[in-house]
Amino acid sequence: MRDPIDAEDVGGASWKKILVSGGALLGVAAAYNAIARKGVDQLPNLVGGEEGGFEWRERRIAFTKRGSGPPILLIHGIHAAAWSYEWRNNVDYLARNNTVYTIDLLGFGRSERPPIRYSARLYISLISDFVGRVIGEPCVLVASSLSGAYAAVLAARDPQRFPAIVLIAPSGLVRLNQPATIKGEAGRFAVDAPIAGTAMFNALVARRNLRSHLRQAYYDDGLVTRELVDTYYTASHQKGARHAPAAFLSGHLNIDIRNAIRRLAQPALLVWGEEGSMTPVEEFRGFTALNPDFELSVLSPAGDLPHDERSEDFNVIVSQWLNRLSLSSVRTQNTPPGTPGDLPPTQPHS
Q: What is the domain-level CATH number for residue 136?
A: 3.40.50.1820
Judge whether residue 185 has pLDDT over 90.
no
Domain hosting 92: range is 50-179+251-342
165 and 284 belong to one structural domain = yes
Span 225-254, pLDDT tens digits: 999 999 999 999 999 999 999 999 889 999
In this structure, the number of other CB atoms found within 10 A of the CB of residue 301 comes to: 13
| Dist. CA 103–CA 101, nearest whole Å | 7
In a domain, 185, yes or no: no
151 and 255 belong to one structural domain = yes
3 and 146 belong to one structural domain = no
Closest to 101 in 3D by CA, of 131, 121, 144, 80: 131
Instruction: Tell me what the mean pLDDT of segment 40-64 comes to.
Output: 94
In a domain, 319, yes or no: yes
170 and 91 belong to one structural domain = yes
Closest to 243 in 3D by CA, of 254, 234, 232, 252: 252
In a domain, 221, yes or no: no
119 neighbors 252 (Cβ within 8 angstroms): yes
Beta pairing, strands 140-144 & 268-273: unpaired
Span 32-44, pLDDT tens digits: 344 344 446 799 9
pTM: 0.84
24 and 107 belong to one structural domain = no
Span 119-130, pLDDT tens digits: 999 999 999 999
